[in-house]
Amino acid sequence: MMKNLKTFIVYYSRTGNTKVVAELIQEKIGEDRSCTN
């Protein structure tokens, strides 16, 4: 039985590199909501 799981991506980025990675993860897992920093 599959559970309805939700994903919450949290990151901290001073230079923007981590933001780029978080957004790539968001695209790959198919989340349609914004990342939160």
- pLDDT tens digit sequence for 5-32: 778 888 998 999 999 998 899 888 876 6
At residue 26's C-alpha, the angle toward residues 20 and 29, to 5°, is 140
Count how many domains the chain has: 1
pLDDT of the residue at 21: 93
Domain that holds residue 27: 1-37
pLDDT of the residue at 35: 52
pTM: 0.62
pLDDT of the residue at 24: 92
pLDDT of the residue at 15: 94
pLDDT of the residue at 29: 86
Distance CA 17, CA 37 (A): 12
pLDDT of the residue at 14: 93
